[in-house]
């Protein structure tokens, strides 16, 4: 069953382009090291925060990638250093249409 990790954070509008570039490098490296990341979607919400949803083909693949994140720590740190008020929550997809 598919799984998601949903992040919510703030980013200074002046840092958005750099965040997008760093996030893209992180996603590319994560996909190379851990197959199963089906998509990553970033949305700017009405309140100005950002919702970043990473969808995995399975919860096992997601957990393996999260467990191996230490090898990608520099890339993750570079991307997330441009964000504030971060939170993350995991979920299981129960319906898709």
> What average pLDDT does the segment 4-26 reach?
96
What residues have CB less than 8 Å from 69, skipping those under 6 apart? 30, 76
Q: What is the pLDDT of residues 44-61, one digit of tens each?
A: 999 999 999 999 999 999
Domains of the chain plus CATH, in order, are: 3-90 (3.30.70.100)
Contact 59, 3 (CB under 8 A): yes
User: Does position 35 have pLDDT exceeding 90, yes or no?
Assistant: no
84-94 pLDDT, tens digit per residue, is: 999 999 999 99
């Amino acid at each position: 069953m598919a799984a998601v990790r949903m992040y919510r954070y703030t980013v200074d509008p002046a840092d958005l382009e750099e965040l997008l570039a760093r996030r893209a490098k992180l996603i590319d490296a994560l996909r190379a090291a851990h197959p199963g990341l089906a998509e990553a979607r970033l949305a700017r919400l009405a309140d100005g925060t950002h919702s970043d949803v990473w969808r995995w083909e399975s919860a096992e693949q997601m957990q393996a990638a999260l467990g191996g994140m230490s090898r990608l720590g520099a890339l993750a740190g570079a991307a997330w250093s441009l964000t504030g008020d971060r939170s993350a929550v995991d979920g299981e997809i129960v319906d898709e249409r």
